[in-house]
Amino acid sequence: MNWLIPSLCLFVFASFSCTGPSAKPTETTPEQEEIAEDIIEIDTTFTLDYLRGYFQPSKHHAFVKVDPAYTDGARVYYLHRETWEAFKNMADSAATDGIKLVIRSAARNFEHQKSIWEGKWTGSRLIEEGANAAEKYPDPKTRALRILLYSSMPGTSRHHWGTDLDLNNFTNEFFKQGKGAEIYQWLVTNGPSFGFCQPYTAKGPDRPHGYEEERWHWSYIPLARQLTELARRNLTDEAINGFQGAETAPQIGVVEKYVLGINKECLK
C-alpha cells in the first residue's frame, strides 16, 4: 500500500513540526497539581447521548418514578434514583421545619424539550414576555437569545440529566416574600447539606452568561457535577442539533455560555 508511506511521513512530519525543536519539557505548577488531584470521575452511565437527553426516563434503568405526594400531581415525574433519594431526605427534613417542597418539574428528555423549544420558536407557544417570538424576532439568533432567557435548547438542558428539579413556583417574586421567602431561605441554608445547589443565581461578575435567575431550579450536585464536567470536556455546539433553530447554537456559543454558565458553587 504505497499511499500509506507518504501519509505516514506527513503524520510524522506534522507531529514533529507541531512539537518542534523549540518545545521544552513542561513542569506542572502547584495550581495544575491541585486540579489534577481533583479530577472528576464520570460514571460510565453518563454518555454524550445521556447528556443530551436521548432516552426515555420512564425506560431508563437509573431513573425512578417520583412519589406523587412530593409533587404538584400535574403529571408523572421521573428522576435519577440518587437524586430522588437525596430529594426525599431533604423534603422530609424540610417538612419537620414546616417547609413543604413541591416538585413542579423533574426529568425532561430531548423530545420533551424540543416540543417546548419549537413551540416558542414557531410562535405556537408564547414566550414569557407574552409575544410570538417568530413574529417579533425574525432574526434567528435574536429569537434564540430571547427564548434562551428561560428555556434551554434541546440537548442542553440540565433537566435531561435527572439531577435537576423545579420547586414550588416558577417566579422569583414568589420566593422573595412570605412563605416563598421562607422556603427559599430554607433551601439556601440546608440544600447544600443534602447535595443541592441553585445553578441559576442572579447574573453578575461571577456569572456573566447563561439563563436568568431561577430560584425554583435546584440541582443534585454529586451527579450533576459529573455531567457538567462531561459537557466541559466533550460537548460541542455542533453536537446540539435536530430541532428548528439549531443553527444558532454555534453562533451563540450555547455550551460555553449556557451549559457551563452556572453558579460556580455548583461546580464544587
- Interface ranges with Zn ion (CB under 5 A): 166, 217
Of 137 and 161, nearer to Zn ion (C-beta) is 161
- Torsion angles phi and psi, residue 163, rounded to 5: -110, -10
Neighbours of 233 (CB within 10 A): 9
Of 166 and 237, nearer to Zn ion (C-beta) is 166
Angle between helices 81-96 and 221-234 (to 10 degrees): 140
- Helical ranges in 20-163 per DSSP H: 30-37, 48-51, 81-96, 110-122, 133-136, 140-147
Of 52 and 217, nearer to Zn ion (C-beta) is 217
Smallest distance, Zn ion to C-beta of residue 124, A? 21
Smallest distance, Zn ion to C-beta of residue 158, A? 7
Name 218's Cβ contacts closer than 8 Å, sequence gap at least 6.
164, 165, 167, 187, 191, 196, 197, 198
CB-facing half-sphere around the CA of 75: CA atoms within 13 A: 8
Of 93 and 169, nearer to Zn ion (C-beta) is 169
Q: How far apart are CA 258 and CA 145, in angstroms?
A: 11
Neighbouring-strand partners of residue 63 = 80
Smallest distance, Zn ion to C-beta of residue 20, A? 48
Smallest distance, Zn ion to C-beta of residue 66, A? 15
Smallest distance, Zn ion to C-beta of residue 84, A? 16
Smallest distance, Zn ion to C-beta of residue 188, A? 17
By beta carbon distance, the residue nearest Zn ion is: 217
Of 121 and 216, nearer to Zn ion (C-beta) is 216
Of 85 and 213, nearer to Zn ion (C-beta) is 213
Of 146 and 159, nearer to Zn ion (C-beta) is 159
SS3 79: strand
Instruction: Please report, to the nearest 10 degrees, the dihedral formed by the alpha carbons of residues 159, 143, 125, 74 taken in order.
Output: 20
The CA distances from residue 49 to 135, 136, 171, 239, in Å, are: 33, 33, 31, 10
Smallest distance, Zn ion to C-beta of residue 200, A? 8
Q: How far apart are CA 52 and CA 235, in angstroms?
A: 9
| E-strand stretches of 27-75 | 63-65
